[in-house]
Structure 1
Amino acid sequence: MMVGMYGEETRTTTPTTGRAPAAATTVGATGPAARTWAARLVVVGIVLSALNLRPAITSLGALLEEVREGLGMSGTAAGLLTSVPPLCFAVFGVAAPRLARRFGPAAVVCAGMAAITAGLLIRPHAGGTAGFLAASALALMGIAVGNVLMPVIVKRWFPDRVGSMTGLYSMALALGTSVAAAATVPMTEALGGRWQTGLTLWAGLAAAAVLPWLPLVRDRGTPSPADPASARVPQARAERAQTPALRITRSRTAWALAVFFGLQATAAYVTMGWMAQIFRDAGVPAGTAGLLLAVTMVMGVPLAFVIPRLATRLPNQGPIVLALGACGLAGYTGLYLAPAAGAWAWALLLGVSNCAFPLALTMVGMRARTGAGVAQLSAFAQSTGYLISVPGPLLVGVLYQSSGGWGIPLAAMGALMVPQMIVGVLAGRNRTVEDEATA
């Protein structure tokens, strides 16, 4: 995710890795031309990788009904399928920093894009629910390491342009999310109507994302004397040595932020996994339902720029939390009362509400004073939050199947917005985890 970028931009300019660009080790030269070439290659890699961090999820959401029928999948099993993404992000994301230290971040991201490609190629033809889930987990494993390591690569290669590269990364991620939601159904129909074809198509985009990283896979991140960033390594090490140890679980702010992250992730994955199906069950055509999901997702493009900058200007982010929560409550209420009649309005409102994600990332950076504190808080909030979010989509599937409709699941999602607003207000208070959790 983008926690590292937002946190470092708002609190510190010290690089988290102190590592040099890969040009010195990959192209065998340290001159400006070689570094410029490598940096441009990294930009292409970042954009293509970000485009691939959500299509595996939203393309499935657009074709979930066809997949369920084709595999004979129950509502509970479909709910399990929509719970797999946050579980994989929590489990595999933890391993990403260790893998990056051993093999280098570029090599691990390259492997992650290859895993996405393989998973998307295999899962439509796995022949059963278990195989479909396993292949989906392979693709999501690649997404998980990309989530964690993209910010590391951005900070390492562009330490003085974190803001602009964060915007580029955010825009590409939201664009990939929304295009997959909008285009999957039309492309499937144009190519014969088989859901297997519609899901397989996105493997081509993932394969393209492997290519820019191939010249960089030998990079292990060893600082180069030619790189100005290497001069700041002793400074970063001194900062880490002077930072008091944090017992992060003793911080009430850290727990509030973790629960807020988990509840907003629950809403996001329920939206990506089920919203198109909710509209289709209300009589909205499949193509239009995919466009509605795309509208919800694409709201993250402009708001990912606006919300973090607004949040950093306020000492307390509680008012933003409440505004986003109110949009979520209105959206779920509309889906409950008139899902088809006001479909576009509900899609817009839920799109605004789902922008609690960049707000959560921004608050991670604001709730710690040092780079080391941001890193520790980020790891705790994301891992705990994603684990909290795992049962949500599964519960929605169970409630949908047991009740035979969307009334109870939507009421449950609306009810979850209330604790999300409460813990968000607590997490948004002007304090730091160092003040609460210093050992």
Structure 2
Amino acid sequence: MDCAIARVGGSRVMWGSPGEAWNTAPVTSGPTSSTPSTSSSSPPRESRAARILVLVGIVVLAFNLRPAAVSVGPVLDEIRAGLDMSGTEAGVLTSLPVLAFALFGALAPRLARLVGTHRLTLLALAAVVVGLLGRSRVDHVGTFLALSLLALGGMATANVLLPSLVKAHFPDRLGLLTALYSTSLACGLTLASIATVPISDAAGDWRDGLAAWAITAAIAAIPWILLLRHGHDERSDEDSGPGHSPIGLAAVARTRIGVLMALFFGIQSLQAYAIFGWFAVIFRDAGHSAATAGVLLGVITGVTIPLSFIIPALAARMLDQRPIVWAVVLCYPVGYTGMIVAPYGGAWVWAVLIGIGTTTFPLILTQIGLRSRTPAGTAALSGFTQSVGYLLAAIGPFGVGLLHDLTGGWTVPLLVLIGLCVPLLLVGLAASRPSYVEDQLRS
């Protein structure tokens, strides 16, 4: 088809054959009541080639936003032995991802306004590459943790930028693009969970299993290098045009939807990073081999691959996402209970159920875009939600490790995770009602 027309906010958007720029024409009618409005602005005027390059860049970027974190769990015992790492230091290591998200997530919107969204994305990927390669070649625990923080900081920065990149470049395809990058993120997460142990075994060293993910991060930098070379190094997209002035995180903190989204994201991430940090160890303690434990963790993440495509696309078509919240969140307590009752025999079933529970994450990513009208609002809501949410989530992996040390088993940590499903469900239901952060800023 040479030409297509889509309705975005209050504009009719037309685009033609490859290479043609975007054109917009105002229309009088707004969004229908059956579909949520995802943007108050028209898509940017840029060539088809540039949009394709941005699309590819977003997808490959998303693929690299979890290996730095989840590749550690399957070989944590080997890392501890190789570096003579204490249990407390291991707890710090498993907590670093959420601490990095909290720290760098708060800085990302401001840095994007200073250096440009695309340039900051490239810098974030460079940090991931340097951190992953560097930590695989050191023997000192402190240096290993510092380089891990560098890699995770790059990952965290790019993670915050993703929703605003989609909102700025594809406001008319919010659900589809979120589905694509959520699926890519799930693929990277799953592959890192499953393949780190086999790569380590094939290379004969856990260090090479960790370093392998620097290669994929370097490949992900290529589209952003090309975009910058062709002049696509604009300052943060949300800073241009009427109604696109920067929104501070403090302002978002005073909104109801900002607080709800941060709590929703925080409790979900607490669950997720407790899973990524410790469930491979739980499976091994239940009697599974290291390779099988890695595969079981991969099942948890692999379940999210198809659902990460379906859920965002479905959520973007719904004014109220509460039915989805009910469906996915309730899988958590069932899976955790199974881990207590039959951790060996039923492990594969529990892994699937827990994996369904973790698809709360792509739902929240979609809601960040749905609960804002502009790229500025998306960037601010994303930064606040993720920085505050991950600060709360830092309790998860550290707390699970502490409870295990205090009790000598996994029953109490799993019971605590079950209890946390109650506030997760409540704030998720409240955050899923239709509302916009910009409207609450003005109220």
Band of TM-score, shorter chain = 0.7 to 0.9
Deviation at 1:150, TM superposition (A): 3.0
Distance 1:37 1:402, change over 3 A: same
Instruction: Tell me the residue number matched to 2:114.
Output: 102
Instruction: Tell me the residue number matched to 1:195.
Output: 206
Instruction: Tell me the residue number matched to 1:324.
Output: 328
Instruction: Tell me the residue number matched to 2:159.
Output: 147
Q: Secondary structure at the match of 1:126?
A: coil
Deviation at 1:256, TM superposition (A): 2.5
Q: Secondary structure at the match of 1:201?
A: helix
Deviation at 1:372, TM superposition (A): 5.0
The 8 Å contact of residues 12 and 371 in structure 1, kept in 2 or not, is answered as no
The 8 Å contact of residues 399 and 409 in structure 1, kept in 2 or not, is answered as yes
Separation of aligned partners in 2, 1:43 and 1:259: 30
Separation of aligned partners in 2, 1:171 and 1:373: 24
Work out which structure has the larger RCO, using CA pairs closer than 8 Å and 6 or more positions apart in sequence: 1
**Where does 1:19-418 land on structure 2 (aligned, <5 Å)?**
21=46, 35-192=47-204, 194-218=205-229, 219=231, 221-222=233-234, 237-240=241-244, 247-312=251-316, 314-368=318-372, 373-418=377-422
Distance 1:153 1:429, change over 3 A: closer
Letter in 2 for 1:346: W
Deviation at 1:55, TM superposition (A): 0.8
Structure 1, gaps ≥5 residues long: 1-7, 22-34, 224-229
Letter in 2 for 1:400: H
Structure 1 runs of 4+ off > 6 angstroms?
A: none
Which residue of 418, 422, 429 corresponds with 2:426?
Answer: 422
Deviations 1:276-332 (A, max 9, x none): 111011111111111111111122222123223443555543343233222100111
The 8 Å contact of residues 308 and 358 in structure 1, kept in 2 or not, is answered as yes
The 8 Å contact of residues 182 and 308 in structure 2, kept in 1 or not, is answered as yes
Structure with the largest fraction of helix = 1
The 8 Å contact of residues 94 and 397 in structure 2, kept in 1 or not, is answered as yes
Structure 2, gaps ≥5 residues long: 1-30
Distance 1:311 1:49, change over 3 A: closer
Q: TM-score, normalised by structure 2?
A: 0.82
Distance 1:145 1:318, change over 3 A: same
Deviation at 1:137, TM superposition (A): 0.6
The 8 Å contact of residues 83 and 140 in structure 2, kept in 1 or not, is answered as yes
Instruction: Please give the root-mean-square deviation of Cα atoms over the aligned residues, in Å.
Output: 3.0
Q: Secondary structure at the match of 1:125?
A: coil
Deviation at 1:188, TM superposition (A): 1.3
Greater alpha carbon shift after TM alignment, 321-330 vs 146-155? 146-155
Deviation at 1:155, TM superposition (A): 4.0
Separation of aligned partners in 2, 1:45 and 1:367: 24
Q: Secondary structure at the match of 1:238?
A: coil
The alignment-based identity, stated in percent, is 46
Separation of aligned partners in 2, 1:268 and 1:12: 27
Q: Secondary structure at the match of 1:217?
A: helix
Greater alpha carbon shift after TM alignment, 176-185 vs 250-259? 250-259
Separation of aligned partners in 2, 1:376 and 1:52: 23
The 8 Å contact of residues 101 and 220 in structure 1, kept in 2 or not, is answered as no
Deviation at 1:180, TM superposition (A): 0.9
The 8 Å contact of residues 105 and 220 in structure 1, kept in 2 or not, is answered as no
Separation of aligned partners in 2, 1:45 and 1:140: 19
In the alignment of these two chains, the number of paired residues is 406
Deviations 1:245-277 (A, max 9, x none): 995444444323221110001011111111111
Deviation at 1:163, TM superposition (A): 3.9
Instruction: Tell me the residue number matched to 1:29.
Output: none
